[in-house]
């Protein structure tokens, strides 16, 4: 079975796919609005410290876990000890729950690409957004369309589907981003946005910022759901994990910063507030696009960029389940994808209706959409990351395999993996569930 497993064509395709997984809505939609809500530059500083140091540990652990076991996540945990099988199962479960709300936002993006054909007719973007997300028919159709797009690439397999999508979409993403940044930086008073991002006001610092930064870092690096474990399991034996991990972290951070540089100068140039929350990209930005000549072209470029990033991340979420389903149940990828399409639709459709017909249907006082976000970001992802570090540190002893040259680095990594990161994940769980 293991010999039949697919693998990446080259180190470069693996890195591109892993960066494609990391760079997604988390960077362009979530990062700017979380930063806007948490005071700008100070948040950025905390975020950078966490992502460049602490997050390296679970990221390496997850990649290494996949690479050394060469199995999908359930099999990977099972190969350490058959009793750990159920811990592995948490990963595909988390995948299904994350995708169910991630794909709803993916659907919104498709709508925002299409509205550019009749852009001039919309005057009130805030009203438009709230009307749109209440329109049951539209949100269902777009959610399913986005799900279909991601499933389409995933079903075609590692080389023809996942690598192909990343090879096209990631360069497209980078080119559009460069154009939009150049545009944003030439707007009047653009420097105010840069000041907001890079001039920290330390009086604003608080504990909440650390939690928000850590949660964001885990989400944006795709840690705690088996996506990197599954991608890691397709690495051929001779590839260096620690170097790849740094490349992924640095690229992801680079793209998050670029997203900030693309968005904040425009917001400040138009005298708007950066703290409008989840609506930042869907309400504030379209308002700005409407003010500029040929704004619909800029707007279309922006949402195509967002769609490209969301598809490459969506694919990585699906791959966890496709690998688990096809390898455990011994069915073809296509069959696994069809099953997954059915299961995810069953959860994603009610999630997409959370702002409209199902807005009064609540779980733990939250709409279905918010509940899925909460249960994955505040519970399942930190829990999975905790379990991952404990197993990789105490049972797999990965430091001995990874850090053969520097004893000191190996020791530092081991302490982090066995004690520091698990303790922090427990804190995150405690605060999240309180």
Chain residues in the site for ligand TRP (CB under 6 A): 21-22, 24-27, 98, 219-220, 222, 224-225, 227, 313, 316-317
Among positive and negative, which fits the CA dihedral 145, 147, 149, 155? negative
Partnered with residue 366 across adjacent β-strands are 363
Nearer of residues 151 and 225 to ligand TRP, judged by Cβ:
225
Sign of CA dihedral 177, 182, 186, 189: positive
When the beta carbons of 269 and 377 are compared against ligand TRP, the nearer one is 377
Nearer to ligand TRP, 225 or 241 (CB): 225
DSSP label of 121: G
Minimum gap (Å) between residue 434 Cβ and ligand TRP: 22
- How far apart are CB 67 and ligand TRP at their closest, in Å? 17
CA distance 14 to 35: 30
Minimum distance of ligand TRP from residue 276's CB (angstroms): 20
Stated length of the chain? 434
Q: Classify 362 as helix, strand or coil.
A: strand
Shortest Å, Cβ 227 to ligand TRP:
4
Minimum distance from CB of 372 to ligand TRP (Å)?
Answer: 12
Q: Both tokens of residue 351?
A: 């999630």
Largest CA distance in the chain: 64
Q: Closest distance between ligand TRP and the C-beta of residue 194, in Å?
A: 23
User: Cα separation of 169 and 221, whole Å?
Assistant: 18
The secondary element (H helix, E strand) that includes residue 367 is: strand 366-367
Q: With beta carbons less than 8 A apart as the criterion, state whether 26 and 216 touch.
A: yes
Give 57 or 190: the residue with its C-beta nearer to ligand TRP.
57
DSSP letter for 83, please: G
Q: How far apart are CA 52 and CA 48, in angstroms?
A: 6
Query: To 10 degrees, what angle do helices 11-22 and 241-269 make?
Result: 40
Output 224 or 356, the one with its CB closest to ligand TRP.
224
Nearest position to ligand TRP, beta carbon? 26
Instruction: Please state the closest distance from residue 25 (CB atom) to ligand TRP, in A.
Output: 4
Between 29 and 128, name the residue whose CB sits nearer to ligand TRP.
29
Closer CB to ligand TRP, 19 or 349, in the complex: 19
């Amino acid at each position: 079975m293991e010999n039949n497993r697919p693998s990446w064509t080259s180190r470069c395709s693996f890195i591109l796919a892993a960066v494609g997984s990391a760079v997604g809505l988390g960077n362009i939609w979530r990062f700017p609005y979380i930063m806007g809500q948490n005071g700008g530059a100070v948040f950025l500083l905390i975020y950078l410290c966490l992502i460049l140091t602490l997050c390296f540990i679970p990221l390496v652990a997850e990649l290494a876990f996949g690479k050394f076991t060469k199995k999908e996540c359930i099999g990977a945990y099972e190969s350490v000890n058959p009793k750990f099988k159920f811990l592995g199962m948490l990963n595909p479960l988390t995948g299904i729950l994350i995708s169910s709300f991630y794909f709803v936002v993916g659907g919104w993006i498709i709508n925002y690409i299409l509205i550019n054909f009749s852009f001039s007719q919309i005057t009130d973007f805030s009203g438009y957004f709230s009307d749109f997300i209440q329109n049951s028919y539209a949100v269902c159709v777009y959610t399913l369309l986005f799900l279909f797009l991601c499933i389409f690439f995933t079903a075609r397999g590692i080389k023809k589907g996942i690598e192909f999508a990343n090879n096209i979409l990631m360069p497209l993403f980078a080119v559009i981003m460069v154009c939009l940044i150049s545009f944003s930086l030439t707007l009047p008073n653009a420097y105010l946005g840069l000041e907001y991002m890079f001039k920290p006001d330390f009086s604003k610092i608080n504990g909440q910022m650390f939690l928000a930064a850590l949660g964001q870092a885990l989400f944006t690096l795709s840690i705690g759901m088996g996506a990197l474990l599954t991608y890691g399991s397709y690495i051929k034996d001779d590839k260096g994990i620690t170097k790849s991990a740094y490349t992924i972290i640095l690229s992801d951070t680079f793209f998050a910063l670029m997203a900030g540089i693309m968005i904040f100068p425009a917001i400040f140039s138009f005298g708007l507030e950066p703290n409008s929350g989840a609506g930042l990209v869907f309400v504030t930005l379209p308002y700005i696009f409407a003010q500029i000549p040929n704004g619909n072209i800029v707007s279309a470029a922006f949402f195509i960029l967002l769609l490209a990033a969301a598809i490459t991340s969506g694919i990585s979420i699906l791959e966890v389940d496709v690998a688990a389903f096809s390898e455990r149940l011994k069915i073809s990828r296509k069959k696994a994808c069809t099953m997954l399409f059915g299961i995810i639709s069953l959860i994603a459709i009610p999630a997409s209706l959370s702002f409209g017909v199902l807005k009064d249907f609540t779980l733990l006082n939250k709409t279905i959409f918010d509940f899925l976000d909460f249960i994955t970001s505040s519970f399942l992802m930190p829990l999975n990351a905790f379990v991952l570090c404990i197993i990789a540190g105490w049972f797999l002893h990965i430091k001995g395999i990874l850090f053969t040259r520097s004893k000191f680095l190996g020791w530092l990594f081991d302490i982090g993996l066995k004690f520091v990161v698990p303790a922090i994940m427990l804190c995150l769980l405690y605060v999240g569930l309180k």
